[in-house]
Amino acid sequence: MASKRKQTSSDFFLGSRNLSFVLVGSLLFLSNVNGTQLVGENESVYTNNMAVMAWGVTSVFAMMIVSEFFMPIYLKSGITTTPEFLEQRFDKATQQIVSLIFLVSYLVNMLPSVLYSGAVVFKGLFNWSAYFAINDWYVLIGIVWFLGISATGYALVGGVKILALSDTLLGVALLIGGVSLPYFGIKTLGNGDLQQGFTVLLSSHQEHFNAIGTNTDAIPFSTIFTGMLLINLNYWGMEQYIVQRALSARNLAESQKGLALAAVGKLLSPLMLNLPGIIAVHLYPNIANSAEAFPKLAGDVLPSICIFFIAFAILGAAITGFNAGLTSSSALFVMNIYQPYFVKKYKTELVDEQQIKVAKRFQIIVAIIAMCIAPCIYLVKGGFYNYLQMVGSIFSVPIFTVIFVGFVTKSTPALAAKVGLVFFVTTYVLLQFFFHTGIHYLHLLAILFVLTVGLMLLLGKLFPRETPFVLIDKQRVNIQPWRTRYFYYALLLTAMMLIYFLFSPLGLAK
């Protein structure tokens, strides 16, 4: 009998670099969709309008840029983590600084938020507090730890590849649940008659259908061309737990197809992330807590079987999102922090078995810390979205700026990267939290992006690298691009514009 092949670090972190575009696309989409969006975006539509859909729908354009320009660089360089590119382009110190920033962000923001949002939706769907006569706080803690322990155990079994194999099923469940909620919600509006429900939906509260945000809305339309574009480029092209899924493809063409498949999911996402909020406006005009719009609607209008589809999909999305953060955190720690320390101390590199052992221990530690932090978000003044905004936007665009300059220049030195990071983070924190400029934070991010790029280019002129950077092809995978990609890009862009036309004063928001 043939002996079982030992799992390698490439298996654990990147699924052996052998995933098909279906699995890559499923991983990308499921890693992105979680209770945060289901609760937060539907709440925003309920209280305001469809302007919030810009985060998902316009990300399609950013995903095309990532597919066309970022992925060939990453796959050619043979990296496992995005900060590894910074070591090749600048130096190890820059790589480790950015790795630490990623780890802190995941530990205090991404991982706890995924657990918390999943717990909020579960609590709302099944109303366990009333059923068991237990305080909301204790129910929330219990669900958070259940999700965290389940996700951690699942991640420890096999890394990226085993998660990818289950995500197609979860994607189907999410699609069924996402489509069924608007269907049954509209039927409820029409007292069982679907056509009458559409008449009710479209005949009043049309202002909630408007996705063209004004300056008084949370997402002004102009911001999709400035800071939102930068954040989406960073998220889909440089956020480790997202990029790691695209890096798992067996070649560049499969990676590009996977990104296109995930983009289709993003174009369909308003059915699940936004339309239920408008239906809730009609059914619950005076709901006490607007954050309950999505779970209350799902619990009230869906048949039991569909509630379990939604629950299964949210469970899967929470587990996938949490696993994505755990796997990426351990990859960042092992490859960019622990491995260099080990080499410096013992003059030899970690073998695959050691890397996986360290990674799994680190995942357990990170998971426990995240499970402790997650319930505390309930106590944050201003609520869940306020917590995300306070913590999440401090480092994302600064990191994007540094990597972007590394992409487009060859002589900008490591000094410029470090100065750029410090300048951007410090200036943004001061202007956003201490000296209020009156400028929307997305526009402020774009202004600081331009200033930081200019500063880095100036330092590149004054103190250029001794030798221009040359990207070396590590020949890990085939980097021949997808031949028919431009045709599908055109279809995706056309669909994106049609969706905006539909949700505008020229369409449903008359």
Ordered by start, the domain boundaries in the chain are: 10-226+242-388+474-502
Assess whether pLDDT exceeds 70 at residue 249.
yes
Predicted confidence (pLDDT) per residue in 388-443, tens digit: 666 677 778 898 999 999 999 999 999 999 999 999 999 998 988 788 888 888 89
Predicted confidence (pLDDT) per residue in 106-133, tens digit: 888 888 888 887 887 777 777 666 666 6
In this predicted structure, what is the pLDDT of residue 187? 93
425 contacts 104 by C-beta, under 8 angstroms: no
Give the pLDDT band of residue 509 (cuts 50, 70, 90).
Answer: confident
Token code pair at residue 408 = 């487009």
In this predicted structure, what is the pLDDT of residue 129? 65
> CB neighbours of 243 closer than 8 A, spacing ≥ 6?
74, 82, 236, 237
Low-confidence winner among 66-80, 370-384, 394-408 (lowest mean pLDDT): 370-384
Residue in 307, 318, 355 with CA at minimum distance from that of residue 335 = 355
Instruction: Give CATH for domain 10-226+242-388+474-502.
Output: 1.20.1730.10
Separation of alpha carbons 148 and 130, rounded Å: 23
Q: What is the pTM of this model?
A: 0.81
The mean per-residue pLDDT over the stretch 332-343 comes to: 81
Residue in 82, 417, 361 with CA at minimum distance from that of residue 233 = 82
In this predicted structure, what is the pLDDT of residue 375? 87
Residue ranges in 269-351 assigned as alpha helix (H): 270-273, 275-283, 293-301, 304-333, 339-346
Give the pLDDT band of residue 2 (cuts 50, 70, 90).
Answer: very low
Assess whether pLDDT exceeds 80 at residue 279.
yes
Q: Is 477 left (phi over 0), alpha (psi -120 to 50) or beta?
A: beta
The mean per-residue pLDDT over the stretch 88-108 comes to: 86
Separation of alpha carbons 116 and 138, rounded Å: 13
In this predicted structure, what is the pLDDT of residue 169? 64
Separation of alpha carbons 338 and 353, rounded Å: 14
